[in-house]
Copies of this chain bind each other. A is one copy, B any other.
Amino acid sequence: MTEPTRPMRRQDIRRENEKAILLAAEKVFAEAGFGGATMQLIADLAGLPKANLHYYFATKEELYRSVVQNIFEIWLQAANCFDAARGPVDGISAYIDAKMEISRRHPDGSKVWASEVMHGAPVLQDYMESTLREWTDGRVEIIGRWIEEGKMDRVDPRHLLYMLWATTQHYADFGHQIETLNGGKSLSDRQWREAKENIKRVILTGIGAQPA
Contact = CB atoms under 8 A, between A and B. Distances in A.
A120 B170 contact: no
A194 B163 CA distance: 13
Contacts of A33: 33-36, 115, 119
Interface string A139-179: 00000000000000101101110110111011101101110
A135 to B, nearest CB: 10
A32 B129 contact: no
Interface residues of A, number: 55
A166 B168 CA distance: 8
A91 to B, nearest CB: 16
- Judged by DSSP, the binding face of A is helix
A128 B176 CA distance: 10
A31 interface: yes
Interface of A: 30-37, 111, 114-115, 117-121, 125, 128-129, 132-133, 136, 153, 155-156, 158-160, 162-163, 165-167, 169-171, 173-174, 176-178, 180-181, 194-195, 198-199, 201-208
